[in-house]
Amino acid sequence: MLLAGISCLIPKAKKHYMINIHSKKAKQTGAIVAFFLLVIFAAYLNSVRYPSTDDAYIQANVIQISPQVSGPIAKLYVENYESVKKGQPLLDIDPAPFIVAVKKAKAQLDYSKQTVAALEETVKSGEAIVTERESELSLAQKDYDRIMVVVKKHLLSQSEGDRVTSRLNVAKATLLSALKQLEQAKAQLGEPGQHNAQIRSAEEELAHAKLDLEHTHITSPANGYVINLSAREGTMLNNGNIAFAVIDSNKWWVDANFKETSLERIRLGQTATIVVDTYPDHDFHGIVEKISRGSGAAFSLFPAENATGNWVKVTQRFTVKIVISDPDPKFPLNVGASSLVTVDTT
């Protein structure tokens, strides 16, 4: 009887045990699913609050060094990739022809001053002659008035009247001629002194020649680094042609290309973390300064043609400019370096 009872209980216990095992497995599976759902939801919230992109590149102002005068390089002070300070000499263009031009302009200025001085003397002489002719006319007019009264009374002959009349007419003609000569002299002179057009023109030529001479000495416009330098001493440089470039190290930023679906929460002034591929263990920090109002595709050389039957919607990217607020000399940045950018939109 006892054995029979025990044998009856064994199947029931086994069944109960199997039910417990299945129940525990179901609970474990549910917990794992819930955990993964929680991780996915947390990742989603994190991507919304902290949008990031690895389509981001380090940028800086690249200043193209272009000579303002033409000539061969007389002296080169820097090498490619060299660090430079603002005002540091970069190169000298052969100054010899520009020194000659300055000397020639100085000589032209001296000549102009001498010419103007001579014309001023001519004007002064003309003014003196006019004054003299006016005095002669005044005296002739007085003689005419006095003698003609006597002639009319028949106390003097008519020939005396003709003489003073002729003298008066000659005095008038002489004064008129002197006035015309004075006007011509003043016209040739123009403005007197330093305001004279010849002197001002000569001074401008001299200033231009001096400026060209100054432009033969080229200095760095900013603190930075020399790049794309291939010229050597003796190389001919032409006015306006780019010789090399200087990367301005005073300001660095990141052009981060975010998907349009990530732009909703990004605002100006928000902080960001930048991890440059060159220094994966060092974080840089920045501030959102500008957000592009046009996608990269909109301004590409060959924009997409969507007015076709093969149109496929593609998520566009917009450039967000993030200025790096803590550049570190221990971790020098390079233009075009790849980086990972995360913006804190909270």
Examine residue 141 and state whether it is found in any structural domain, yes or no. Answer: yes
Whether residues 73 and 128 share a domain: the answer is no
Return the bridge partners of 324, or none.
Answer: 286
As a whole number of angstroms, the distance between CA 252 and CA 248 comes to 8
CB 55 within 8 A of CB 337: no
Query: What does the pLDDT look like over 149-186, one tens digit per residue?
Result: 777 777 777 877 778 888 888 888 988 988 898 888 88
CB 255 within 8 A of CB 321: yes
Query: Is residue 8 very low, low, confident or very high in pLDDT (cuts 50, 70, 90)?
Result: low
Whether residues 138 and 73 share a domain: the answer is no
Whether residues 169 and 146 share a domain: the answer is yes
Whether residues 173 and 110 share a domain: the answer is yes
Whether residues 141 and 221 share a domain: the answer is no
Query: What is the token pair recorded at 58?
Result: 């380090």
CB 257 within 8 A of CB 319: yes
Alpha carbon 223 to its chain's center: 16
**Mean pLDDT across the stretch 318-330?**
94
CATH number of the domain enclosing 184: 1.10.287.620
Number of domains in the chain: 2
Comparison of pLDDT for 256 and 162, the residue scoring more: 256
Whether residues 126 and 207 share a domain: the answer is yes
Structure confidence at residue 1 (pLDDT):
46
CB 190 within 8 A of CB 198: yes
Whether residues 206 and 112 share a domain: the answer is yes
Examine residue 276 and state whether it is found in any structural domain, yes or no. Answer: no
CB 272 within 8 A of CB 341: yes
Any idea which of 39-43, 53-57, 296-300, 308-312 has the lowest mean pLDDT?
39-43
Examine residue 272 and state whether it is found in any structural domain, yes or no. Answer: no
CATH number of the domain enclosing 71: 2.40.50.100
Host domain of residue 155: 98-212
Average pLDDT of the chain, as a whole number: 85
Helical H segments across the chain, by residue range: 2-49, 96-152, 158-189, 197-214
Domain C-terminal end among 212, 233, 253: 212
Domain C-terminal end among 188, 212, 236: 212
Note the pTM of the prediction, 2 decimals.
Answer: 0.69
